[in-house]
Chain A
Amino acid sequence: MSLTSLSISALQEKLRAREASPIEALDALESRIAAVDPSIHGYLSRDYAAARALAEKADVNLPLGGVPIAIKDVINVIGEPCTCASKILLGYKSTYDATVISRLRAAGAIPFGRCNMDEFAMGSSTENSAFGRSCNPWDLARVPGGSSGGSAAVVAADEAYASLGSDTGGSIRQPAALCGIVGLKPTYGCVSRYGLVAFASSLDQIGPFTKTVRDAGLLLNAIAGRDPQDSTSLDVPTEDATALLGRDLKGVKLGMPKEYFISGIDPQVDASIRAAIAKYESLGAEIVEVSLPHTEHAVSVYYVIATAEASANLARFDGVRYGHRAATDNLLEMYGRSRAEGFGPEVKRRIILGTYVLSSGYYDAYYLRAQKVRTLIRDDFTKAFEKVDAIICPTTPEPAFLAGDRTDDPLKMYLADIFTIACNLAGTCGLSLPCGFANESGKQLPIGLQLIGQPWKEARLLQIAHAYEQATDWHKARPAL
């Protein structure tokens, strides 16, 4: 068995027992990447030299000592590219480390490799990358999900031990589900966004992709906490995210939101989720029905608020200070053409939509109204969490879809996020973990179980996820590559 199939925890045991060195851990990745990434295309760049320099002096006794972590190409790592999978940032080199990168370094981890994604994190399939799509390791004809599709695919394909992604409307949980791994979106404000290229600032959070629930806690411990560079970050979760792992589920209440168990869910997904719920009951959890009555509006609210914020955030790409500049002697033409030449179709669509909903005469009808309905969606969760410790539901309505299936139908693509979006609007934490497989034309496709936890209760959320993981074997399955 190759080192690269190990979880962070298992790799650390080997590193600390001196059965493997950080350099060997990195070399193993290099061979595995050479073998499988030509078919997966999960990486956009690989900084072996920088990583090897860190591996040589790594202190394996630090919390993540000597462990390479792959990074979504939307997070700044000093001296490395940060393309956001966009032509507009080709040639850009980061001049600083994002806070999550400084914290990974402080914990002894080695940031290594930049992962493919939908351009500027806009998409649900990684088909919006300007540098070619990533493939789902379980069926190369299918998408790995998105926007953090590369970060998910490299972990699922054992060409990374773990990775970081970002989640604005499901961009960690949805690809984790489609690739059969664990993906955690922390509570808004839990992890600093400094150095994360902004998409929708009131929704974006950085979080881990891992092979096990425990690993997600280890990575979260390393990156969480207040950062003076991000005034929306808070220091609430002082507790160790792994502190409750291994405790039983006696007294734990899980809520099934009736609005998430609707017609239109793939029957194999529905069956797996219901079996997972039955498993939870057998493990001692109490299952109760809850209601999130404004669920049907979540996608609409999201596509108003997220595009509005994106249109403002992406105004910085104007060809002046960094990024692509169109060749012209006229300043206004330079703005319009640099952006036209640099951005891909989905980014353009969202800039147009976001500009429109913020424009004079439409602000109240779209943006302000969406912010008000966002309050109602948030209140739904607050009320549900008075009754339950976590909400249990599917991560996605279907397993991975075929590449090319939805690229010309933005609305259909947007509806793929129907179960993940509300968590971001409410600002709470959520994760996806493997809970079964669907059979599609002879291929096994992973199914993801979503648990949405109370704000700042990541330790409880991980405890609940861990209990199920330890009682099942789904997380041990690997794609044949």
Chain B
Amino acid sequence: MSDQFNVRYVAQLARLDLSDAEIEKFQSQLGQVLAHVEQLGRVDVSKVEPTAHANAVANVFRKDESRPGFTQDAALSNAPRSANGLIVVPKVIE
């Protein structure tokens, strides 16, 4: 299964530009990691429920009341570009 692993394709899914050298290196390094991980295929999990969290808690609600949050200035203070109280990004629609 690890033979189907294609770093170039996965990098597109992850929106992560990689150089050809990185792709080649990761293909080999992560191929080894995946080959190691495939030992999990030997474990009988037919009657086992998955664990998503060590302490399963369900439906944690709080009262639907307004409370203090970030000010607009604080929320924008780390934005690479902002104007008029908004975050500026490159044009999405032509």
- Chain A contacts for B30, CB-based, 8 A: 349, 352-353, 356, 410
CB–CB A411/B78 < 8 A: no
CB–CB A188/B55 < 8 A: yes
Answer whether residue B83 sits at the interface, using C-beta atoms and an 8 A cutoff: no
Chain B, 4-15, contact with A by CB distance < 8 Å: what is the 0/1 string?
A: 010100110111
CB–CB B51/A321 < 8 A: no
Answer whether residue A457 sits at the interface, using C-beta atoms and an 8 A cutoff: no
CB–CB B33/A339 < 8 A: no
CB–CB A372/B49 < 8 A: yes
- Chain A contacts for B52, CB-based, 8 A: 202, 371
A-B contact count (CB 8 A): 171
- Chain B contacts for A426, CB-based, 8 A: 54
Of all chain B residues, the one with the shortest Cβ separation from A330 is B90
CB–CB A375/B50 < 8 A: yes
A25 CB to closest chain B CB (Å) equals 31
Chain B interface extent, by class = 35 or more
- Chain B contacts for A345, CB-based, 8 A: 22
**Highest count of chain B CB atoms <10 Å: which of A299, A336, A352:** A352
Main secondary structure of the interface of A (DSSP, over half): helix
Question: How far does the alpha carbon of A92 sit from the alpha carbon of B36 in the complex, in Å?
Answer: 37
- Chain A contacts for B26, CB-based, 8 A: 348-349, 352
Question: How far does the alpha carbon of A320 sit from the alpha carbon of B50 in the complex, in Å?
Answer: 35
- Chain A contacts for B7, CB-based, 8 A: 352
Q: A154-202: which have CB < 8 Å to B?
A: 187-189, 202
Of all chain B residues, the one with the shortest Cβ separation from A367 is B50
Question: How far does the alpha carbon of A428 sit from the alpha carbon of B51 in the complex, in Å?
Answer: 14
**Highest count of chain A CB atoms <10 Å: which of B17, B33, B54, B91:** B54
CB–CB B78/A374 < 8 A: no
- Chain B contacts for A322, CB-based, 8 A: 78-80
Choose the segment among A58-66, A97-105, A109-117, A228-236 that binds chain B (4+ C-beta atoms closer than 8 Å). A228-236
Question: How far does the alpha carbon of A368 sit from the alpha carbon of B52 in the complex, in Å?
Answer: 9
B84 CB to closest chain A CB (Å) equals 16
B13, B15, B43, B77: the one contacting A373 at CB < 8 Å is B43
A-B contact pairs, 14 of them (CB 8 A): A92-B78, A96-B70, A232-B53, A297-B40, A303-B33, A303-B37, A331-B90, A340-B17, A351-B16, A356-B10, A369-B40, A370-B37, A373-B48, A374-B51
